[in-house]
Amino acid sequence: MARRSPATRRAQSRSIFGVRPEPKPRETAGSYLSRLAFLHGRLIPDMKTETGIDVRQIDLGSEAAIRTMAGMCGMGHGSLARWSPRRDHTGGWLLHGQEMGAGQIERTFFRFCPACIAADIEAGGRTGPYMRAEWTVSALRTCSEHGLVLTTASPEREFFAPYDFARTVLAMVPEMGRLSAEAERPRSSPLEAYLTDRLLSGTKKKSWLDDLSFHAAADLSEVFGAVALHGKKVRVTKLTPVQRVEAGAAGYAVLAEGHAGIRRFLIRLIRETQNGKGVWGPQLAIGRINDFLDARKCDPGYAPAVEYIRGVVVDEVPLEPDVEVLGQPVGTRRVWNLRSLAREVGTTVPLLKKILVRNRYMSAKADFRASRSMVDTDKVRALVATLDDEILTLPGVMERTGLTRRHIEAIVQAGGFVSVTAAGKVYNAQHRFTAKNVDGTMETLLGGEVVDKIPSGMSTLADARHAAICTFSEVLKLVLEGGLSWIGYLQGAEGLDAILVPTAEVTMLTTREKAPGLTRIGVQRRTGLTQKPVQMLFERQIFDLHVVRNPVKRSEEVAASEESVDRFMHEHIALHALAKHHGVHFRRMKAIMEAAGIPPVFDPVEFHATFYPRQLAEGLDLNAIDPEDVVLTRRTRAESLEHQSEIRNAKARLATEVLRDAKGQRSAVPAEPDEEPARRWTRLGRSRRIKGEISRRRVPSRRWTAERVS
């Protein structure tokens, strides 16, 4: 490159204007051109014809045109070029290194702060007011210095020329005081603070918004905030400047959290539509956010937001694989609704609902709507594979296998037939089985060696069960699990009667040791007490209780340790046993104990028996008691009725409650919300006066009835 001579450099740096204004901080080139033209009494279009300044290129932020104008003024162009919006090759705008998109720069009108203009006039006269670069950005709606909402001005403008900022503002100088007083002062917005700092200093605050371009971060924050404050159908362009400032602050609070905040906000929007109407798609799910991003899905500045928000919608909304979300089809389904899942597995929605609830895939308290109830695909994938077959009811299984209802229930208890509705734990519920499961189980049961007669040492399932004193389902479980060395099939027999098993082996595998401890009946035999006192001693946990399994019925029951029963009998004695020990009538014995001042250990009414300390009671010298102090009284009829009423009110608790206390489940494990409520079985008896207690309704014909326990 040829070197320029000193004379050439002096000629190029020589100003052609006799006087020029000084550039101000963050002033745009269009603002400086307006002040320069006003200072020389010219209009902006005249500057092109008289001085050769290309005002059109100044308006577009061309660095070459700004350099030419600065050279004519005898100054550097760096500051003006840096703070002037510049059009790039894509049609968007750049300002101080930030991408502004196509609509973030205001060009047909401008906004200003009346307080700032008044301060400029006071400091520099009529040529003092100038346009700050941040006023050209539409997302910045308030003055960072005074906190006022920027006032809008609509200047007259000729084609291909920038608006004349200086002449327009000077015409409004008499109104600046009124405009400052009338300007709204909204609450400070963290979004505008973030955008201003990002624009002026170029620094980022390690926020998720840093991954978006400047215009994407500004516009998306306003849309999110508008939806949060005004609903999913809000029209952002209809909001006032103050409402848009508030919306930007609310949206920034969501987006600044990153993926966690965005997902939480979108899921809340999606949940709000579960009870709505219409086709459930992206637009209905997230509202105006979907419309906004769908129109900008090709803008690279929005790419991180489009990608993540699309993933959240696909993960949370049950969409068909061919539905497009923000420009791309769903593809592999990630979530189902009841209707689509029922159609996929070939069953009905009510049956599928029961299956999902009883298998803990959905809550029974959920609002079931065929098109809005969502199911996670990953969780039900195994269930879908199971249900992808013919589903049989219990009568269907009976017809398919020829088995009786009782035999089918035994196979279910043994784990052979798996109920997809999990109906075994629900009162009066119906089973559903898959054909594959039924056929596979029957093939296992009837797949033994075929024989013409029963070999020695073998027996049918029923005979083996009686010989081993076990349940029918336990023998079936041994057959299904392959726990027996040999299984036969008796030719000519039907159903499960054809299965042969080794009797001795079944007996050995099902033999159980005697359960440790004493049940209530055992305690009655050991102590000589009646049923009610023993039951109350169990309920008050006077003994050391634990849970054992009945060796025959295989049901759980509460037992007391023998040591605790012996210890109780060593420390206490009942009234009748004490009377027999001293050889007196039990009523006289009770009066003697009262005269001796020895009270019962437990409440006689509550425990249905009277207990005394054994050592003190047996060692009592009856001859030392004054006979006059021993008073035998007889209850009146009213006292007898009151005593009987007290005894009736001292009711025993349910056996299930005693069992829970022994297990320690009442305080440790809360009851499942979907668990079938317990039932108290009450005997109606022969008396028909029960009609009055049930509002004269028909008394059930059965002798026993079940009442739900509240």
User: If pLDDT is split at 50, 70 and 90, which confidence band does 612 have?
Assistant: very high
User: If pLDDT is split at 50, 70 and 90, which confidence band does 201 have?
Assistant: confident
User: Which residues, in sequence order, are bridge partners of residue 132?
Assistant: 27
The predicted structure's pLDDT at residue 132: 92
More confident residue, 72 or 689: 72
pLDDT tens-digit profile of 31-54? 899 999 888 888 888 888 888 888
pLDDT tens-digit profile of 431-472? 778 888 888 888 888 888 888 888 888 899 888 888 887 888
The predicted structure's pLDDT at residue 7: 42
User: If pLDDT is split at 50, 70 and 90, which confidence band does 667 have?
Assistant: very low
On average, the pLDDT of the chain sits at: 80
Is the predicted pLDDT of residue 183 greater than 80, yes or no? yes
Is the predicted pLDDT of residue 223 greater than 70, yes or no? yes
CA atoms within 13 A on the CB side of 327: 12
CA gap 465, 475 in Å, rounded: 7
**For 234-244, what is the mean pLDDT?**
90
The predicted structure's pLDDT at residue 686: 38
350 CA to centre of own chain: 23
User: If pLDDT is split at 50, 70 and 90, which confidence band does 709 have?
Assistant: very low
The predicted structure's pLDDT at residue 610: 92
The predicted structure's pLDDT at residue 369: 55
Is the predicted pLDDT of residue 10 greater than 60, yes or no? no
Q: Which of 46-55, 117-126, 202-211, 300-309 is predicted with the least confidence, judged by mean pLDDT? A: 202-211
User: If pLDDT is split at 50, 70 and 90, which confidence band does 230 have?
Assistant: very high
**For 13-20, what is the mean pLDDT?**
71
Is the predicted pLDDT of residue 202 greater than 60, yes or no? yes
pLDDT tens-digit profile of 391-439? 788 888 888 888 888 888 888 888 888 877 776 666 666 777 888 888 8
Is the predicted pLDDT of residue 215 greater than 70, yes or no? yes
Burial of 528 (0-12, 13-18, 19+ CB in 10 A): exposed
pTM, to two decimals: 0.56
Supply the DSSP string of 156-210, one letter for each residue: ---TTS---HHHHHHHTGGGHHHHHHHS--PPP-HHHHHHHHHHHH----S-GGG
CA gap 412, 407 in Å, rounded: 9
The predicted structure's pLDDT at residue 507: 85
The predicted structure's pLDDT at residue 247: 93
- What six digits make up the tokens of 39? 């200072």
The predicted structure's pLDDT at residue 684: 41
Share of the chain above pLDDT 70, in %: 78
CA gap 43, 51 in Å, rounded: 12
CA gap 605, 324 in Å, rounded: 76
- Cβ atoms within 10 A of the Cβ of 120, count? 19
**For 59-85, what is the mean pLDDT?**
89
CA gap 421, 394 in Å, rounded: 12
Q: Which of 282-291, 334-343, 465-474 is predicted with the least confidence, judged by mean pLDDT? A: 334-343
CA gap 100, 133 in Å, rounded: 12
User: If pLDDT is split at 50, 70 and 90, which confidence band does 188 have?
Assistant: confident
The predicted structure's pLDDT at residue 573: 92
- Domain residues of the chain, as ranges? 6-182, 190-333, 446-510, 520-649
Is the predicted pLDDT of residue 14 greater than 70, yes or no? no
CA gap 441, 435 in Å, rounded: 10
Q: Which of 164-168, 358-362, 520-524 is predicted with the least confidence, judged by mean pLDDT? A: 358-362
**For 126-155, what is the mean pLDDT?**
89
Query: Are the beta carbons of 180 and 128 closer than 8 angstroms?
Result: no
**For 216-230, what is the mean pLDDT?**
92
Q: Which of 391, 549, 542, 532 is nearest to 470 (CA)?
A: 549
**For 639-643, what is the mean pLDDT?**
75
Helix segments in 279-434, DSSP class H: 282-286, 288-294, 303-316, 338-345, 349-358, 377-387, 394-401, 405-413
